[in-house]
Structure 1
Amino acid sequence: MEPSPGSEDRIAPDTDAIETAVALVGDGSCIAEARHLATGFLARVQADHGLPVSRRAMDLTQLVVSELVTNARKYAPGPVLMHLRIAGSLVEVTVWDSEPVMPMARAADPGRVGQHGLEIVMAVSQGFEVQREPVGKRITARIALADDPGGHLAGRHPQ
């Protein structure tokens, strides 16, 4: 993983947003490095900015980062950009890749081995969106920083 210039945590001007970004290149080891970057970012958010970050939020963020970066490395040629940002009580995990094909969650199939990553990300996230870009696409998942006072373990609340 090659850090992009200015990949240190920063507060964006005029927004008070705490964020970091990195360009991921290389082999599959960048997936583990992306998870490590995400947990380090959340630890600094908690220590330096006093925001609550639950163990569940740490674990789910690592899972989401792993799934999104894995898919980007698997299906898209070239580098992958990852951006982490605190937005209120959420951490936004955004992954950009050069593949223009939009991802689609597949129908449930208990016999299918693998290819459940997008379903997992959607299930544990407070919000999920995919945006087509002039080159490639950008996928954003939002995860609650603190455990839900109502006791919900998954990201989405029951309907």
Structure 2
Amino acid sequence: MDASVVSTVVEFSGGSAMIPASRDVVRRFVARLAAAGVEAAGTFADAARLVVSELVTNALRHAPGPCRLELTLKGDSVEIAVSDTGDGYPTFLPRDPQRVGRHGLEIVTRLCDEVITKPHASGKTVSALLPLL
């Protein structure tokens, strides 16, 4: 299937409402995948919602302005890309089971095959490749 057939882009103006709204975008996107006959593991929808929540939350915390969420079918994975206006890069913290919170990027890297941050003129885009199966 052509990846352009199943993709979505949503622009958020900012604020904490974009976190639950981003999970709704994932729910609708997963339904579109199913309608297009794309096979996904039973855990895919939950994993996709978690990855999106973590990336959008990071965008809100570190660049509280506008945020763009893009979901695109790419072969046997879905690329989840979150763009924001922040100039800082995600920071990997050392593994610490005693730490409360700040495990978002660790969770994303465990679930996804690849996580890449790309700078652009007005901020950055964090892209994560989540396998369907």
1:28 is paired with a residue whose SS is: coil
Q: Which has the higher helix share?
A: 2
Aligned residue pairs total 132
Q: Is the 8 A contact 2:3 2:74 kept in 1?
A: no
Taking the aligned partners of 1:122 and 1:102, their CA distance within structure 2 comes to 15
Match of 1:86 among 45, 51, 73: 73
CA RMSD of aligned residues (A): 1.5
Q: 1:12-62, CA deviations, whole angstroms, 9 ceiling, x for partnerless residues? A: xxx652211001124212101101111210111111x11112221111100
Give the TM-score taking structure 1 as reference length.
Answer: 0.78
1:9-158 aligned at under 5 Å gives the runs: 16-17=3-4, 18-47=6-35, 49-146=36-133
Distance 1:23 1:108, change over 3 A: same
Give the TM-score taking structure 2 as reference length.
Answer: 0.93
Q: Which has the higher strand share?
A: 2
1:68 is paired with a residue whose SS is: helix
Q: Is the 8 A contact 2:69 2:81 kept in 1?
A: yes
Relative contact order higher in (CA < 8 Å, ≥ 6 apart): 2
Q: Higher Cα Rg: structure 1 or 2?
A: 1
Amino-acid identity (%): 36
